[in-house]
Amino acid sequence: MNIEEKVKLIVAALEDIKGQDIAVLDTSKLTSLFERMVIASGTSNRQTRALADNVRVKMKEAGEYVGNTEGEDTGDWVLLDLGEVIVHVMQPAARAHYNLEELWGAGEAARARHIQADH
């Protein structure tokens, strides 16, 4: 599965559980650790955990790598390591506070692009 297909699968998994404000950042020119960062918001701790779990399940079903997950105990900010893609599922307050889009959006070319999965 190429990177764009993987991102579409992740976005679709987030949309399935009503993830909000889904953004994809191309980080390939900013770090060698991962190529894309997907950021989404959930309206409750329960939803952020469900969003992260659905991404993990869909990736495993597709036979893709699923690494460590952090933050599921609180659900304020759940981080999924999917190899070349990192997924952040955050409560709106945490997302506004840490502002990852701004932190990683160095320059116009790296700004977040909001996308929807093809259904």
In the chain, domain spans: 3-110
CATH of domain 3-110: 3.30.460.10
Q: What is the pLDDT, as a whole number, of residue 111?
A: 38
CA-angle at 16, arms to 15 and 20, nearest 5°: 30
Check: CB of residue 79 under 8 Å from CB of residue 94: no
Q: What is the pLDDT, as a whole number, of residue 59?
A: 98
What is the pTM assigned to this prediction?
0.84
Please identify every stretch of the chain with a pLDDT value under 50, giving residue numbers as ranges. Answer: 106-116, 119
